[in-house]
């Protein structure tokens, strides 16, 4: 009888157990896909090369809303007019390792490539290390057709001056890299200027510097969990905020060669 019992335990562990041995919610033990942003950027740049009209989606703040995020993925997979998706940050609520992997696996279900920004919740505990391993650096840029996307970490409250947030050195280097051809720019961030996360002492400085990018179209952000469209600095540069995914909406932007862009809110 004991032998039978022991055998059944052993079988239980073999079949059900292997990935159920959890060392700690903050163990940083990552299985599956890593370096997601870099892989997807390669896909975006290849697919959009030579295009002068691009259509992309901005969404985010998916923390703990797994079912809703899955619904979003299903809804978006029914379309075939989108070039890529930007997740505006807050993949997780607690910065726990498993949360990052759960959300990554759902987002990986998208037919189109996506990139993820660092949200303030993603910085909690050692979340930032996990974000870097699964997605990549917190400041990055890519080019879709003739539009440059500058993706920035703006969660200054999480970093206590230990690191420059926003990183003007990075921004200036990106500006210097630009060729003055007919390129356009979109700046993406999790928390926008004047939110409690942003280093508001440099809000105007930030705005003046990003206006140095060629033909800055608009800025996109997440964080506030509701839809936003504001000319924050009264200078014609719009900031558009996506709602959290439980509101079941996403934003679609179309940038066209006639020097115009349109955006629409889509409910799913």
Pick the closer one to other proteins by CB: 45 or 129. 129
Distance CA 95, CA 63 (A): 10
Residue of 7, 11, 25, 169 interacting with other proteins (CB under 8 A) = 25
Q: String of b and e for 63-83 (b: at least 16 CB within 10 Å)?
A: bbbeebbbebbeebeeeeebb
**Shortest distance in whole angstroms from residue 165 CB to other proteins:** 13
Pick the closer one to other proteins by CB: 19 or 264. 19
Length of the chain as a residue count: 268
Does residue 21 bind other proteins (CB under 8 A)?
yes
Residue of 7, 29, 172, 194 interacting with other proteins (CB under 8 A) = 29
Pick the stretch among 10-18, 178-186, 222-230, 255-263 that binds other proteins (CB under 8 A). 10-18
Order of strands, sheet of 54-59, starting from the edge strand that comes earlier in the sequence = 114-116, 84-87, 54-59, 249-256, 260-267
- Judged by CB under 8 A, the chain residues 172 through 231 that form the site for other proteins are 196
Pick the closer one to other proteins by CB: 94 or 261. 94
Residue 255 CB coordination number (10 Å): 24
Distance CA 117, CA 122 (A): 9
- Judged by CB under 8 A, the chain residues 30 through 49 that form the site for other proteins are 30
Residue of 26, 168, 263, 268 interacting with other proteins (CB under 8 A) = 26
Q: What angle do CA 77, 243, 89 make, to 5 degrees?
A: 80
Distance CA 134, CA 129 (A): 9
Residue of 82, 86, 96, 252 interacting with other proteins (CB under 8 A) = 96
Pick the stretch among 3-11, 144-152, 165-173, 234-242 that binds other proteins (CB under 8 A). 3-11
Does residue 22 bind other proteins (CB under 8 A)?
yes
Any idea which residue has 């009209």 for tokens? 53
Q: How far is CA 138 from the centre of its chain?
A: 9
Which residues form the interface with other proteins (CB under 8 A)? 1-2, 5-6, 9, 13, 16-17, 19-30, 64-67, 70, 93-99, 102, 106, 121, 124-126, 129-130, 133, 157, 160, 196
């Amino acid at each position: 009888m004991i032998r039978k019992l022991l055998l059944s335990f052993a079988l239980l562990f073999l079949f059900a157990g292997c990935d159920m041995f959890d060392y700690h919610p903050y163990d940083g033990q990552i299985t599956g896909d890593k370096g997601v942003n870099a892989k997807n950027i390669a896909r975006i740049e290849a697919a959009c090369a030579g295009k002068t009209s691009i259509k992309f989606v901005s969404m985010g703040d998916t923390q703990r809303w797994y079912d809703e995020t899955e619904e979003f993925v299903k809804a978006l997979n029914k379309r075939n007019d989108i070039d890529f998706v930007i997740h505006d940050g807050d993949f997780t609520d607690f910065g726990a390792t498993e949360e990052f992997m759960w959300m990554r696996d759902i987002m990986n279900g998208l037919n189109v490539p996506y990139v993820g920004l660092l949200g303030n919740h993603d910085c909690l505990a050692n979340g930032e290390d996990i974000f870097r391993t699964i997605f990549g650096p917190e400041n990055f840029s890519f080019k879709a057709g003739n539009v440059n996307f500058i993706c920035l970490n703006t969660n200054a409250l999480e970093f206590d001056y230990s690191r420059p947030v926003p990183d003007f050195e990075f921004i200036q280097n990106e500006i210097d890299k630009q060729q003055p051809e007919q390129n356009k720019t979109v700046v993406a961030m999790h928390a926008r200027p004047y939110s409690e996360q942003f280093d508001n002492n440099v809000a105007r400085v930030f705005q003046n510097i990003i206006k140095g990018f060629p033909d800055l179209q608009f800025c996109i952000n997440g964080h506030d969990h509701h839809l936003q469209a504001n000319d924050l600095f009264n200078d014609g540069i719009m900031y558009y905020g996506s709602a959290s995914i439980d509101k079941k909406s996403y934003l679609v932007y179309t940038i066209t060669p006639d020097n115009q862009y349109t955006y629409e809110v889509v409910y799913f």
